[in-house]
Amino acid sequence: MLAGDRQLGKLAGILIAFIGVCSSGAVLSGEEQDVGLRPGVTLTVTDTFDGRPFSYQVTGITRKENYQVVFVRYPSPVESELPQNNIIPVEYYLPTDVSATGPKRPAVICLHILDGSLELVRMLGSVLASHGVAAVVFPLPYYGERGGPSGPRDILGEPQRFLRVLEQTYLEVRRATDFLASRPEVNPQRIGVAGISLGAIVAASAAEREPRIWRAALILSGGDILKIVATAREAEPLREFIGRLSEEERAKVIEGFREADPITGAHLLRERALAGRVLMINAAEDEVIPRDCTDQLAAALGIKDRVVWLEGLGHYTAIAALPEILQQTAGFFAQDVPEELQKARPIAESPTPLNRIAACLREMTQFYTEEPRAGTCHILHLASEVEGQTFDVLLIRGRGHQFRLEGQLGSFGRVMAGQGDYPWLVARTGKVFAGEPGAPLETKSPLTYVQGVLLERLRFTMLALAGLAGTPAALEPLLQIKEEKTQEGVSLTVWPAGNESSKITLTFGGLSNMPNVVGIASTDQSVTIRIKSWQLHAPVSAGVFSPPAGGSVQNVSRNDLYRMFGALVNFAAEQLP
């Protein structure tokens, strides 16, 4: 909810940049319907929550593979002292098969995290639109282009402004509801709200104040805001702000917190929650929003036994479950998509660039997450030149802890190691160091002594990649792709949207899901990786996990070998940019 949300947003951005999956300018087959949204058009909303009509202008449209983003601007229902804060720039995510005269679809208002990063809610908006649900995303008061030089920090400059901003946010959710209810393609009876962290707390309170909200999805949320502020490390700047206030001002701010707390108005949302129209997804080990705070809000809503808990994850590491969260949230709102629209959704006749990369991701993560079937193994053989150093590595993964690794690892030199019934390592002299063969000892993971932080990064990255492979639409808002036909096959160049300083080029031959060549280019270096062999569940050869025969053998402690394996992996990780 608080300053730590910045880390959550950064983690999402790092994850997206790391995997290099893209967006595309293509639109699925099927005739696009006219709903009156064209750049330069100005339309008026007459039926509003406060009885005051307002107009909105369409400033642009970006077409994606499964949806389009319509950029709209309209005035805030609150006029503040900062002119730019009084105009709301809205991104309207719209499915490609919308029709002004056809069945109406549900829509969702998506609210962002504390640091103002829109990446997560843009991903949510894209997944919703890909499921046939319209969505709007916009920066909250004083965030992004709506803020002054200090951005949202200006909110803390004066106590009454801080309290006014809370109220302005709720009113802007109501204005967004007006906007969506006015759209001919939207069912005004099926408008929802979704938020992440701070956005989830705001979403809960906004839904309590706006009876037109049909569904609410609260991700990493809780109640008892005063407790969160009093205990969370990330809330220290806010605590210092409150501490500087006079006793009278402090009392007003605390009372403002109580009024804004979703627990206070939970009775207004309880009926919808009991009817199954409030979804709560929370991290079981959340270090920012204590579990007790989540329990209090869930109990006030009457759904304490329905909270979806992400076991083993915290507020920031919940990024590992991001694909699962996005799919579950989209499915929650997609329940209201008319059946005829669900059946009519177009299907691409051939693999799109986005889907091809998703298939590639699925196979990549299978190597790590899926154990080979009995009698088979996974095989990866790749080669590269990096700053004059040669890397040529063959990795074979078997069942359990079986593996074989051999090749040239740059300045580290020639490597040959593995584990079948016992671990072993071949020295540069050719001598085989065997980890107590024949001893009644269980084998361990070869990663036992790898740095813990590397293992955690690997685990969370692979979990997220595996999920995102099944949710390619979540990546479209942040990434770009260029497809080219080459002599080798199809080349896909991928880079983060708005930043062409680093690109990844994947060259595919034939219909394979894995590229033959991966090119990584940045402002300071370029690396080409050739994938010589890639196989999942390949037949395993007898003795592949045993040391080479014929050389001298020296028995050593198994733990010593595991430490060497750990040093090898740690060294390789240090070579990565």
Is the model more confident about 189 or about 16?
189
Burial (CB count <10 Å: 0-12, 13-18, 19+), residue 554: exposed
pLDDT at 412 over 60: yes
What domains sit in the chain, N to C, each tagged with a CATH number? 90-339 (3.40.50.1820), 353-575 (2.50.20)
* Average pLDDT estimate for 93-119: 88
Helix, strand, coil shares of the chain, percent, nearest 5, are 35, 25, 35
Which DSSP symbol is given to 33? P
**How far apart (Å, rounded) are the C-alpha atoms in residues 176 and 182?**
10
Place of tokens 């593996």: 403
Length of the chain: 577
Q: Is 79 exposed, middle or buried (0-12, 13-18, 19+ CB in 10 A)?
A: exposed
Q: For residues 18-24, give the mean pLDDT.
A: 33
The neighbour count for residue 460, using CB atoms within 10 Å, is 20
Find out whether 394 and 405 touch, Cβ atoms under 8 Å.
yes
Task: Out of 31-45, 288-302, 339-353, 412-426, pick the least confident.
Answer: 339-353
**Which is higher by pLDDT, 183 or 386?**
183
Give the per-residue pLDDT at 9.
Answer: 46
Amino acid of residue 391: F
Summarize pLDDT for 205-257 with one digit per residue, the tens.
999 999 999 999 999 999 998 888 887 766 777 788 888 888 988 888 888 88
- As a whole number of angstroms, the distance between CA 481 and CA 483 comes to 7
The angle subtended at Cα 94 by Cα 11 and Cα 115, nearest 5°, is: 30
| pLDDT over 70 (residue 295) | yes
**Residue 141: pLDDT band with limits 50, 70, 90:** very high
Q: With 90 as the cut, is the pLDDT of residue 56 above it?
A: yes
DSSP three-state, residue 13 = helix
Quote the tokens at residue 490: 């199809």
Retrieve residue 312's tokens.
Answer: 């083993």
Q: Which pLDDT does position 474 carry in this prediction?
A: 75
| pTM (two decimals) | 0.70
| Selected residue with higher pLDDT from 344 and 486 | 486
User: How far is the C-alpha of 441 from the C-alpha of 555, rounded, in Å?
Assistant: 14
